[in-house]
Structure 1
Amino acid sequence: MPLRTSRARRARLSLLTAGTASLALLATACGGSGSGGTAAAPENFDYLSVTENTTVKAALTGMSKGACKAANDALPLKVETVPQASLDQKLQLLAGQDALPVQFAAGNAPALTQELAGSGKVADLEAKLKELGVLDQLQPAAVSTIKALYGGELRVLPYEYNIEGVFYNKKLFADNGVKAPGTWTELVAAAAKLDAKGVQPFSASGQQGWPITRLISGYLYRSLGPDALQKVADGKAKLTDPAYVKAAREIAALGKKGYFGKGVGSIDYDTAMNQFLTGKAAMFYMGSWALANISDGKQNKIGAADTGFLPFPAVEGGKGSVDQYPSNVGLGITLASKSFDKKTGDWVSCIARNYGSTALKDQGAISGFKVNAEVEDANEVTTQVRDTISASKRNVLWFEALFSTKATTVSQQNAAGLVSGSTSPEKFMQTVQDALAAQ
């Protein structure tokens, strides 16, 4: 299975967690402009992506020469890239000029795409896919995730689809008499047993922040149910409520006991990944995008056969279910309303029917499109994750998914302090709640 570059991996993860730039400029530029009157037919299947992510570009380029050659002959693929940090500004500028490309990477948070859609710049993808007869080519779980992110609307296509859970080292577990935990109590007990035998229980990037905050949301979803953070977004609950603070306290306790190892606040994403793949930590909470690393023998020194995957454990007496996996669609990609004509539709139809197989076969990437061709998985854990995705009906989001830009930044910047002990659980949740209230 081909390896994606670490640049691409970091870009994808950053895209999941970064906030948007100010939307004031966009609101001014797009207000009332709609689709800008009569549109000229596009000359190319223009695709604006980010420089750091090469997966979609590579897959579409391959399809333009193969499965989608007819669509490409009629409307040639033309790819432009910008640095991820410049994406929002670029989209705002193009939207203000009524010059969005045919297809483009959505903003760094759902809010930007929602602004574009509100001003009539984004195609009604659900209606378009129905009209083309390919809506059924999207995995139901991916559609559910997109709609949860975008106010009940299908705003982006799922060129990626990831679920999250705990990857674990089967050999370290077996050698130390630890069984795969099914409940939070069992997880904590497993960590204590590993730690007592000199094995670091968890690897995590405190520098990124989000791998830690997603443990908080995992506990919240299991204890309070799948609507736990929607209630916060709707103003029906606060992060400072006792049941919410308890989740932060449980994660802070893991850090207090040293289960994340030394210097977690300075650990970056690649280092955390390496700690797990070289057997220096027994568990690693991460998304299924890590399968590309796990399947690469040069990186994975413990071996794919000894890498297991389990859902975030159940909280005893909780309202959530272990089959509700945190999920995301990675780098969301959408299409402009102005240029969505028949030739664009031919491209979209071809993508819907072929992207899932192409990305899996050539890029080692799991998407939210159905896989319509036989593709041999690299290992058992990849098969397990694919089967889980196919069977998923209701998934949940991540901690900051419904947060404002400010609250997202505050959350991730303070996560390391939570597990290192410099920030109390109460203070952490109060700080993030204050940022939410200020939006």
Structure 2
Amino acid sequence: MLLTACGPASGGGSADSGKFTYLGQTENTTIISTLEALGKDQCAAEEKAAPLTSDSVAGTQWDQKLQLLAGQDALSNMSMAAGTPSLMKQFIDAGQVVDLSAELEKLGVADKILPAADSTIKALYGEDSLYALPTELNIEGFWYNKQLLADNGLEAPATWDDLVAAADTLQGAGVQPFAAAGKDGWPVTRLVGDYIARDLGPDALKDVADGTAKLTDDEYVKAADAVAELGKAGYFGEAVGSVDYNAAMNEFLTGKAAFFYMGSWALANFNDETQNTIGVDNVGFAPFPAVDGGAGSIDQVPANVGIPVMLAKKGFGDSQAAWLKCIASNYGDAVLKESGVVSGFALDTPPTDLPETTQTVQQVIQDAPSSILWFEALFTSKGTSVSQTNGGGLANGTLSGADFMKLVQAANDEG
């Protein structure tokens, strides 16, 4: 697929082409529609000086297309970042993308990036500087049915031991403690990663990626064992290995399970009255609990930034810098208003009429001093696949924590 209007002018030879070019994935219309809305309003002056032009590529071709453009030194002024963190790292190491920490500081808008989003992106690419903008910021944690907890004399758990005790109480009362997509695997493996971060600290999985620790080390196996114990106790329900994402969502939203570990992208489901029969006001949020004696902190929020956007160094001049400043200052408010998406940008005028769940997410994001990545974020492609394929085994109690970690470590070692 050839670019039509998304490469810099005249092949991208000179800085400040007089355009602001954007390339995105065909399936994601939120970013470009928000940029277009800004161009008609808050960024009208920037639009006049450097008109926004855009193009799109199918998501299945995304990384391949970016590699082609990078090889031609023809990346668009702004584009969605590479889907694979290691590919994005190549662009950074080659000096092809803008150091946004330095540029935002120069423009006086560095404070427009929320700390949780900043730390998520830096950790994702293993950099001390910011090289992408957080057009989304999804936090993760335990959503819970307020009524089911209240009926059983329970409060939102603050520690892992509290969570296990609550699950035991619910099970004894005939209530399924957790909804989980065991068939998909990843919602279960998220629990392993979060436990590791709470117990060993936020850099524990980076140590594995760097080769200074292994998932098969006793202190890492402890986390997988803790999740496997939940599975052996039956806390995820019957036949959890056959439950997919939509079925798990349905279990929670129809009152069949008390807890549901999921990201804040599920707000759309929670706010849909046709799906949510327990009522959005009945949905509470609890951060992943602390582990007693652990080196991590409960306010280090598990997070991801969806598909962030990067800016190419070639073709970056005053006009593109002006767009960057305007986007940093206004994108968060605009995307929340236009699409209901919570981003990693600070808000100037937070809406007051949002559902309580959305307000909760915003508050957690605003207050979080830093974030942690998900379990597989720094794994190889094979390691990720093996982890998620076997997550269901932890949830149904057929796979021990030690065996799970052996499988995943071996897959990562193979590359």
- TM (normalized to structure 2)? 0.91
Contact 1:42 1:102 survives alignment (8 Å): no
Contact 1:327 1:397 survives alignment (8 Å): yes
Determine helix, strand or coil for the equivalent of 2:277: coil
The number of aligned residues is: 404
Q: CA RMSD in A?
A: 2.0
2:117 is equivalent to residue 142 of structure 1: yes
Contact 1:126 1:154 survives alignment (8 Å): yes
Residue number in structure 2 paired with 1:130: 105
Structure 1 pair 184–40 and aligned structure 2 pair: CA distance change class (3 A): closer
Contact 1:377 1:383 survives alignment (8 Å): no
Residue number in structure 2 paired with 1:5: none
Alignment of 1:171-182 (within 5 A): 171-182=147-158
| Counterpart Cα distance in 1 of 2:246 and 2:25 | 20
- Give the drift of 1:251: 0.8
| Counterpart Cα distance in 2 of 1:297 and 1:83 | 32
User: Which amino acid in 2 is paired with 1:411?
Assistant: S
User: Which amino acid in 1 is paired with 2:120?
Assistant: T
2:259 is equivalent to residue 254 of structure 1: no
- Give the drift of 1:40: 5.9
Contact 2:13 2:315 survives alignment (8 Å): no
Residue number in structure 2 paired with 1:30: none
**Residue in structure 2 matching 1:238, options 214, 222, 233:** 214
Residue number in structure 1 paired with 2:371: 395
Contact 2:182 2:188 survives alignment (8 Å): yes
Identity %: 53
Residue number in structure 2 paired with 1:368: 344
- Give the drift of 1:41: 4.2
Unaligned runs of 5+ in 2: 1-10
Residue number in structure 2 paired with 1:75: 50
Determine helix, strand or coil for the equivalent of 1:395: strand
Determine helix, strand or coil for the equivalent of 1:98: coil
| Counterpart Cα distance in 2 of 1:137 and 1:273 | 33
Residue number in structure 2 paired with 1:107: 82
Structure 1 pair 298–73 and aligned structure 2 pair: CA distance change class (3 A): farther
Q: Deviations over 1:33-88 (max 9, x none)?
A: xxx99436445422222233332233222212221122222323233232322211
Aligned structure 1 segments of 4 or more residues deviating by more than 4 angstroms: none
Residue number in structure 1 paired with 2:7: none
Unaligned runs of 5+ in 1: 1-35
| Counterpart Cα distance in 1 of 2:363 and 2:292 | 26
Determine helix, strand or coil for the equivalent of 1:179: coil
Structure 1 pair 264–76 and aligned structure 2 pair: CA distance change class (3 A): farther
Residue number in structure 2 paired with 1:20: none
Contact 2:113 2:328 survives alignment (8 Å): yes
Residue number in structure 1 paired with 2:142: 166
Structure 1 pair 119–243 and aligned structure 2 pair: CA distance change class (3 A): same
- Bigger drift between 238-247 and 137-146 goes to 137-146
- Give the drift of 1:104: 1.0
Q: Deviations over 1:228-248 (max 9, x none)?
A: 212212222211011211111
- Bigger drift between 113-122 and 295-304 goes to 295-304
2:312 is equivalent to residue 336 of structure 1: yes
Structure 1 pair 340–263 and aligned structure 2 pair: CA distance change class (3 A): farther
Residue number in structure 1 paired with 2:201: 225
Residue number in structure 1 paired with 2:8: none
- Give the drift of 1:156: 0.6
**Residue in structure 2 matching 1:277, options 228, 241, 253:** 253
| Counterpart Cα distance in 1 of 2:363 and 2:289 | 19
- TM (normalized to structure 1)? 0.87
Determine helix, strand or coil for the equivalent of 1:325: strand
User: Which amino acid in 2 is paired with 1:392?
Assistant: A
2:388 is equivalent to residue 419 of structure 1: no
Determine helix, strand or coil for the equivalent of 1:326: strand
| Counterpart Cα distance in 1 of 2:409 and 2:17 | 45
Contact 1:106 1:112 survives alignment (8 Å): no
2:354 is equivalent to residue 378 of structure 1: yes
- Give the drift of 1:300: 2.2
Q: Deviations over 1:259-301 (max 9, x none)?
A: 2223333333233222222222211111222223223333322
